A and B are shown apart, each in its own frame.
Chain A
Amino acid sequence: SQQGEEDPQALSIQEGENATMNCSYKTSINNLQWYRQNSGRGLVHLILIRSNEREKHSGRLRVTLDTSKKSSSLLITASRAADTASYFCATEPVRAGGTSYGKLTFGQGTILTVHP
Protein backbone atom coordinates (compact mmCIF):
# COMPACT_ATOMS: atom_id res chain seq x y z
CA SER A 1 0.00 0.00 0.00
CA GLN A 2 1.11 3.56 -0.63
CA GLN A 3 1.77 5.54 2.54
CA GLY A 4 2.79 8.78 0.91
CA GLU A 5 0.32 10.85 -1.03
CA GLU A 6 1.74 13.50 -3.32
CA ASP A 7 -0.13 16.59 -4.30
CA PRO A 8 -0.67 17.72 -6.97
CA GLN A 9 -0.72 14.65 -9.22
CA ALA A 10 0.51 16.80 -12.09
CA LEU A 11 2.03 20.25 -12.31
CA SER A 12 2.77 22.27 -15.43
CA ILE A 13 4.85 25.46 -15.21
CA GLN A 14 7.05 27.74 -17.31
CA GLU A 15 10.82 27.73 -17.12
CA GLY A 16 12.04 30.04 -14.39
CA GLU A 17 9.02 29.55 -12.16
CA ASN A 18 9.11 27.72 -8.84
CA ALA A 19 7.51 24.31 -8.41
CA THR A 20 6.11 23.09 -5.11
CA MET A 21 5.10 19.51 -4.45
CA ASN A 22 3.57 18.21 -1.26
CA CYS A 23 3.62 14.82 0.40
CA SER A 24 1.57 13.47 3.26
CA TYR A 25 2.15 10.23 5.12
CA LYS A 26 0.45 8.20 7.81
CA THR A 27 2.87 6.60 10.27
CA SER A 28 5.86 7.73 12.31
CA ILE A 29 9.01 7.92 10.27
CA ASN A 30 12.78 7.91 10.67
CA ASN A 31 13.30 9.95 7.55
CA LEU A 32 11.65 11.11 4.36
CA GLN A 33 13.36 11.09 0.99
CA TRP A 34 12.56 12.69 -2.34
CA TYR A 35 13.38 11.01 -5.63
CA ARG A 36 13.16 11.99 -9.29
CA GLN A 37 12.35 9.63 -12.13
CA ASN A 38 12.73 10.42 -15.81
CA SER A 39 10.50 8.59 -18.29
CA GLY A 40 10.06 5.37 -16.33
CA ARG A 41 13.76 4.88 -15.71
CA GLY A 42 15.57 4.42 -12.41
CA LEU A 43 15.03 6.77 -9.51
CA VAL A 44 17.56 9.45 -8.66
CA HIS A 45 17.93 10.34 -5.00
CA LEU A 46 17.45 14.07 -4.43
CA ILE A 47 17.43 14.74 -0.73
CA LEU A 48 16.88 13.05 2.63
CA ILE A 49 15.45 14.80 5.66
CA ARG A 50 15.50 13.15 9.07
CA SER A 51 12.55 13.22 11.43
CA ASN A 52 14.33 15.66 13.76
CA GLU A 53 15.00 18.14 10.94
CA ARG A 54 12.55 20.77 9.75
CA GLU A 55 14.18 22.11 6.61
CA LYS A 56 16.96 21.12 4.27
CA HIS A 57 18.49 22.69 1.16
CA SER A 58 20.39 21.24 -1.74
CA GLY A 59 21.15 23.54 -4.66
CA ARG A 60 17.80 24.67 -6.07
CA LEU A 61 15.90 22.23 -3.86
CA ARG A 62 14.33 23.04 -0.54
CA VAL A 63 12.56 20.40 1.53
CA THR A 64 10.49 20.98 4.64
CA LEU A 65 9.16 18.42 7.07
CA ASP A 66 6.34 18.85 9.57
CA THR A 67 6.09 15.68 11.63
CA SER A 68 3.12 17.01 13.61
CA LYS A 69 1.13 17.25 10.36
CA LYS A 70 2.88 14.25 8.80
CA SER A 71 3.67 16.25 5.70
CA SER A 72 6.59 17.41 3.62
CA SER A 73 7.08 19.74 0.71
CA LEU A 74 9.65 19.92 -2.06
CA LEU A 75 10.34 23.29 -3.64
CA ILE A 76 12.32 23.55 -6.86
CA THR A 77 13.33 27.14 -7.53
CA ALA A 78 14.03 28.67 -10.94
CA SER A 79 12.85 25.53 -12.74
CA ARG A 80 14.41 24.35 -15.99
CA ALA A 81 13.06 22.20 -18.81
CA ALA A 82 15.48 19.48 -17.60
CA ASP A 83 13.53 19.32 -14.32
CA THR A 84 10.64 17.71 -16.21
CA ALA A 85 10.16 14.35 -14.49
CA SER A 86 8.09 12.48 -11.92
CA TYR A 87 8.88 13.26 -8.30
CA PHE A 88 8.25 10.82 -5.48
CA CYS A 89 8.42 11.11 -1.74
CA ALA A 90 9.38 7.99 0.17
CA THR A 91 9.17 7.40 3.88
CA GLU A 92 11.20 5.09 6.04
CA PRO A 93 8.96 4.03 8.92
CA VAL A 94 10.02 3.52 12.50
CA ARG A 95 10.17 -0.16 13.35
CA ALA A 96 9.57 -1.70 16.75
CA GLY A 97 12.62 -0.99 18.85
CA GLY A 98 13.34 2.18 16.91
CA THR A 99 15.52 0.60 14.27
CA SER A 100 14.82 0.92 10.61
CA TYR A 101 16.15 -1.13 7.77
CA GLY A 102 15.38 1.05 4.81
CA LYS A 103 12.03 -0.29 3.72
CA LEU A 104 10.81 2.70 1.75
CA THR A 105 7.15 3.39 1.13
CA PHE A 106 6.53 5.57 -1.92
CA GLY A 107 3.66 7.79 -2.90
CA GLN A 108 2.18 7.84 -6.40
CA GLY A 109 4.27 10.81 -7.43
CA THR A 110 3.83 14.24 -8.97
CA ILE A 111 4.41 14.62 -12.70
CA LEU A 112 6.19 17.92 -13.26
CA THR A 113 6.33 19.45 -16.73
CA VAL A 114 8.47 22.54 -17.24
CA HIS A 115 7.84 24.33 -20.53
CA PRO A 116 10.76 26.18 -22.11
Chain B
Amino acid sequence: DAGVTQSPTHLIKTRGQQVTLRCSPKSGHDTVSWYQQALGQGPQFIFQYYEEEERQRGNFPDRFSGHQFPNYSSELNVNALLLGDSALYLCASSLYYEQYFGPGTRLTVT
Protein backbone atom coordinates (compact mmCIF):
# COMPACT_ATOMS: atom_id res chain seq x y z
CA ASP B 1 0.00 0.00 0.00
CA ALA B 2 1.66 3.18 -1.21
CA GLY B 3 1.75 6.04 1.21
CA VAL B 4 1.45 9.70 0.31
CA THR B 5 3.69 10.66 -2.57
CA GLN B 6 4.77 14.11 -3.68
CA SER B 7 6.56 15.43 -6.72
CA PRO B 8 8.99 16.88 -7.39
CA THR B 9 11.36 16.33 -4.46
CA HIS B 10 13.25 19.54 -4.99
CA LEU B 11 12.56 22.60 -7.08
CA ILE B 12 14.43 25.85 -7.72
CA LYS B 13 12.50 28.77 -9.16
CA THR B 14 13.08 32.46 -9.73
CA ARG B 15 11.12 35.28 -8.14
CA GLY B 16 7.98 36.07 -10.08
CA GLN B 17 7.65 32.60 -11.56
CA GLN B 18 4.84 30.17 -10.98
CA VAL B 19 5.12 26.65 -9.57
CA THR B 20 2.92 23.56 -9.38
CA LEU B 21 3.44 20.86 -6.78
CA ARG B 22 1.71 17.50 -6.87
CA CYS B 23 0.42 15.06 -4.30
CA SER B 24 -1.06 11.58 -4.46
CA PRO B 25 -2.89 10.57 -1.30
CA LYS B 26 -2.67 7.30 0.53
CA SER B 27 -4.97 4.67 -0.94
CA GLY B 28 -8.51 5.06 0.39
CA HIS B 29 -8.04 8.63 1.60
CA ASP B 30 -10.35 11.30 0.23
CA THR B 31 -9.05 14.47 1.88
CA VAL B 32 -5.83 16.29 1.05
CA SER B 33 -4.31 19.10 3.07
CA TRP B 34 -1.31 21.25 2.19
CA TYR B 35 1.16 22.75 4.65
CA GLN B 36 4.11 25.10 4.32
CA GLN B 37 7.07 24.58 6.62
CA ALA B 38 9.71 27.28 6.78
CA LEU B 39 13.14 26.35 8.09
CA GLY B 40 13.12 25.86 11.84
CA GLN B 41 9.35 26.28 12.11
CA GLY B 42 6.38 23.99 12.42
CA PRO B 43 4.14 23.38 9.40
CA GLN B 44 1.49 25.99 8.65
CA PHE B 45 -1.85 24.99 7.16
CA ILE B 46 -2.44 26.35 3.66
CA PHE B 47 -5.72 24.71 2.63
CA GLN B 48 -7.63 21.47 2.47
CA TYR B 49 -9.47 19.77 -0.38
CA TYR B 50 -12.37 17.39 -0.10
CA GLU B 51 -14.68 16.24 -2.89
CA GLU B 52 -12.71 18.39 -5.33
CA GLU B 53 -13.46 21.59 -3.44
CA GLU B 54 -11.48 23.77 -1.06
CA ARG B 55 -13.05 23.09 2.31
CA GLN B 56 -10.80 25.13 4.59
CA ARG B 57 -8.12 27.73 4.09
CA GLY B 58 -5.36 29.05 6.29
CA ASN B 59 -3.92 32.53 6.33
CA PHE B 60 -2.28 32.46 2.92
CA PRO B 61 -2.74 34.93 0.04
CA ASP B 62 -4.64 34.17 -3.13
CA ARG B 63 -1.33 33.52 -4.89
CA PHE B 64 -1.68 30.07 -3.34
CA SER B 65 -4.32 28.00 -5.06
CA GLY B 66 -5.06 24.35 -5.44
CA HIS B 67 -7.05 21.67 -7.08
CA GLN B 68 -8.24 18.18 -6.32
CA PHE B 69 -8.92 15.66 -9.04
CA PRO B 70 -11.58 12.91 -9.13
CA ASN B 71 -8.92 10.35 -8.11
CA TYR B 72 -8.28 12.50 -4.97
CA SER B 73 -4.81 13.59 -6.05
CA SER B 74 -4.11 17.26 -5.63
CA GLU B 75 -2.01 20.14 -6.89
CA LEU B 76 -0.74 23.23 -5.15
CA ASN B 77 -0.05 26.25 -7.34
CA VAL B 78 1.85 29.31 -6.26
CA ASN B 79 1.94 32.37 -8.54
CA ALA B 80 4.30 35.34 -8.49
CA LEU B 81 6.83 33.59 -6.28
CA LEU B 82 8.54 35.56 -3.53
CA LEU B 83 11.77 34.75 -1.76
CA GLY B 84 9.69 34.11 1.36
CA ASP B 85 7.90 31.25 -0.37
CA SER B 86 11.05 29.16 -0.02
CA ALA B 87 10.03 26.29 2.24
CA LEU B 88 9.22 22.62 2.49
CA TYR B 89 5.70 22.01 1.19
CA LEU B 90 3.99 19.07 2.77
CA CYS B 91 0.92 17.26 1.60
CA ALA B 92 -1.16 15.19 4.01
CA SER B 93 -4.01 12.85 3.27
CA SER B 94 -6.68 11.60 5.62
CA LEU B 95 -9.91 9.72 5.83
CA TYR B 96 -10.86 10.60 9.39
CA TYR B 97 -8.64 12.20 12.04
CA GLU B 98 -5.14 10.90 11.45
CA GLN B 99 -3.22 12.69 8.74
CA TYR B 100 -0.50 10.93 6.81
CA PHE B 101 2.21 13.16 5.44
CA GLY B 102 4.25 12.82 2.29
CA PRO B 103 8.00 13.44 2.15
CA GLY B 104 7.52 17.00 1.00
CA THR B 105 8.74 19.19 -1.86
CA ARG B 106 11.63 21.51 -1.06
CA LEU B 107 11.04 24.78 -2.95
CA THR B 108 13.84 27.31 -3.23
CA VAL B 109 13.08 30.71 -4.71
CA THR B 110 16.10 32.71 -5.87
Residues of A within 8 A of B (CB): 1-2, 4, 30-31, 33, 35, 40-45, 48, 88, 90, 92, 101-109
Contact = CB atoms under 8 A, between A and B. Distances in A.
Contacts, number: 71
Interface of B: 4, 31, 33, 35, 39-45, 48, 50, 55-56, 58-59, 88, 90, 92, 94, 97-104, 106
The main secondary structure of chain B at its interface with chain A is strand
B33 A102 contact: yes
Nearest to B58: A103
A105 B48 contact: no
Contacts of A106: 35, 42-44
Contacts of A88: 42-43
Contacts of A102: 31, 33, 48, 94, 97, 99
Nearest to B33: A102
Contacts of A101: 31, 48, 50, 55-56
Q: Residue among A1, A88, A103 with the most chain B CB within 10 A? A: A103
